[in-house]
Chain A
Amino acid sequence: MIRSARVLATRNHPRHLSTKSYRVLQMNGDGVGAEIVGAAERVLEATGVNFEWTKMEMGYENYEKTGEVIGEQHLQAFEDIKVLFKGPLTIPPGKNPYTELRGRKFTSGNQVIRKVFELYANVRPAKSLPGIVSRFQNVDVLVVRENTEDVYTGEEKWVDKDTVEGTKRITRKASTRIAKTAFELASKAGRKRVTAVHKANVCKQADGLFLEVCGEVSKDYPSIEFDEQLADSLLTKMVMDPTEWDVLLCPNLYGDMVSDLAAGLVGSLGLCPSGMYGEEYAVFEPCHGSAPDIAGKDMANPISQVLSGAMLLRHLGENEAAVRIETALEKVAKKGPAFLTPDLGGSASTTVMTDAIIAEL
């Protein structure tokens, strides 16, 4: 059921606001989703940017209530609105039902959205927050991961009863558009260097094609430094000096590894947002799962959802508001355990932390 709510920004923020209003589709997801999306919505509203939220439910809890994880009406809403801000889904292995929509079968609600709308870029910033304990400091990388091909084609076959062969596919088209995404994001964010991640020493043709295409695209961005790095030794170097890296442009599999490593370097998946981009569509959501064990307890760390909101703002062109959120978050992180949620070693509730972020805006 679609509930559409025109929500105007509260006018208690002193800055002058544009009258422009952004239509965004919002879905809580499962577990802690309702709490952290609610928290992030409050923060987004407090920046003074105007949103027109269309709210729908999807996920395992929706399946339990309505018999479907996601339906045609969600797809139509997303086709119309084109920007989705969502929380994490619960995807219980073995119990999560298949979804059949538009003649195709999908294993999860997330997969439906990713595939139907061909969200080819999976973008994960990983940035250390001062005041939050981690083995590593000053991490600030942007992982741009191709999300449609490589070894994750799902094309596998049994050659004989003892052998399976899978297909690794690299195309000029997918490589070109992910490279463009990386350079465009780098350019907009004022980032200085894009590194293509590959194993062209081994996968000479497939990764060779990827690398060649990245190099070609880089020529359109002469002010951004471009280099390349073998995927395996990248991991060694990232743990030995994470600060050396800027934008990491990766095919699907290496990107999967590298983005999870980057999240670990920052100290917690609870600090990591993500954006998935297609030609016309974008989805913003945390990297972490739905954490059903702490759902409803006002304990969840809202940071990844709030930072996903900052990515949403950047996508809408509201960079200044995004920076204000990030700055407010850094200030709160420095204030210590009274304002951090338990997963970060603090004692604050989701609400207390969110209020503190809003107060710093």
Chain B
Amino acid sequence: MVMDPTEWDVLLCPNLYGDMVSDLAAGLVGSLGLCPSGMYGEEYAVFEPCHGSAPDIAGKDMANPISQVLSGAMLLRHLGENEAAVRIETALEKVAKKGPAFLTPDLGGSASTTVMTDAIIAEL
């Protein structure tokens, strides 16, 4: 995976290896701030970011919303709204390409959570 991450598609893992592999994959993407998750039962589903609550930046309009937004895209797919999910992901990619003015500080940018979110919405 570290020598050629592009070689892999779906990685089906038992619990322990999956713990390792999913954290490795998040590192390869560059930040836990970019990683959503879905947890599924027979009838239930939960969607949430991979990262923690970051209390040190709470209330400062600094947090990176990407993982929560992508968790929202997973939610849409779960509900069958694939097209809307794709639109969110496409909008996000466009914003990411726009540069530091639209990225939160953890990604090396200067945007607030609000500015970044507005930019994503503008691209939808």
Contacts and interface: CB of A to CB of B under 8 A. Distances in A.
Chain B contact-residue range equals 10 to 19
Interface string A223-260: 00000000111011111100000000000010001000
A259 to B, nearest CB: 13
Contact of A135 (B2, B20, B31, B32): B2
Contact of A257 (B20, B28, B32): B20
Interface string B12-55: 00001001101110111011100000000000000000000000
B27 A240 contact: yes
Contacts of B27: 235-240
A29 interface: no
A150 to B, nearest CB: 11
Contacts of B23: 232-233, 235-236
A82 B16 CA distance: 37
B31 to A, nearest CB: 8
Contacts of A267: 3
Interface string A254-281: 0001000100110110000000000000
Interface residues on A, range: 10 to 19
Given A233-B23, A236-B24, A261-B24, A253 B16 contact: yes
A264 B1 CA distance: 8
A117 interface: no
Contact of B24 (A136, A199, A239, A268): A239
A207 to B, nearest CB: 12
Nearest to B26: A236
Contacts of A231: 19-20
Given A136-B2, A264-B2, A265-B2, A232 B28 contact: no
Nearest to B30: A240
B2 A239 contact: yes
Given A235-B23, A238-B27, A261 B16 contact: no
Contacts of A239: 2, 24, 27-28
B19 to A, nearest CB: 5
Contacts of B2: 135-136, 239, 261, 264-265
Contacts of A240: 27, 30-31
A231 to B, nearest CB: 7
A237 B26 CA distance: 10
B20 A232 contact: yes
Contacts of A232: 19-20, 22-23
B2 to A, nearest CB: 4
Contacts of A233: 23
A151 to B, nearest CB: 8
Nearest to A254: B20
30 contacts: A135-B2, A136-B2, A199-B19, A231-B19, A231-B20, A232-B20, A232-B23, A233-B23, A235-B20, A235-B23, A235-B24, A236-B23, A236-B26, A236-B32, A237-B27, A238-B27, A239-B24, A239-B27, A239-B28, A240-B27, A240-B30, A240-B31, A253-B16, A261-B2, A261-B24, A264-B2, A264-B3, A265-B2, A267-B3, A268-B3
Interface of B: 1-3, 16, 19-20, 22-24, 26-28, 30-32
